[in-house]
């Protein structure tokens, strides 16, 4: 593994569309748990969108984001607002936040 692939990165993403009440968060959890380094959360927002905070090795986080946008719920996603944010190191697991 190269030094570049060992870099940690964090994203905060808002998914909007028909993303609540369709199992979207639990699909994201399943995808995230397939990666060793990813921590963070996924949660429903009051406006009907879903917020994702994911941090981990850059290669794994990028793969997770691809999994989400090409996965079984991709047709429900109408808009994605993604921002790279500072790595927090506050999370030890990836889970649903309420």
Architecture of domain 4-87: 2-Layer Sandwich (3.30)
| HEC profile of 31-84 | HHCCCCCCEEEEEECCCCCEEEEEEEEHHHHHHHHHHHHHCCCHHHEEEEEEEE
Q: Where are the domains of the chain?
A: 4-87
Query: Active-site residue numbers?
Result: 25, 44
pLDDT in tens, 47-65: 999 999 999 999 999 999 9
User: Is 60 exceeded by the pLDDT of residue 1?
Assistant: no
Residue 2 pLDDT greater than 90, yes or no: no
Alpha carbons 75 and 24: distance in angstroms, whole number: 11
Residue 25, pLDDT score: 96
Say whether 3 sits in a helix, a strand or coil: coil
The per-residue pLDDT for 5 is: 54
Q: What is the pLDDT of residue 6?
A: 84
Percent of the chain predicted with pLDDT > 90: 87
Contact 52, 11 (CB under 8 A): yes
């Amino acid at each position: 593994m190269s030094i570049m692939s060992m870099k940690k990165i964090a994203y905060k993403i808002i998914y909007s569309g028909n993303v609540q009440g369709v199992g979207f968060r639990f699909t994201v959890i399943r995808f995230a748990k397939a990666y060793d380094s990813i921590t963070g959360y996924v949660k429903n927002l009051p406006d009907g969108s879903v917020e994702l905070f994911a941090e981990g090795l850059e290669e794994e986080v990028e793969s997770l984001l691809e999994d989400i946008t090409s996965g079984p719920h991709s047709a429900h996603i109408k808009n994605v607002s993604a921002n790279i944010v500072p790595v927090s190191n506050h999370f030890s697991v990836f889970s649903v936040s309420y």
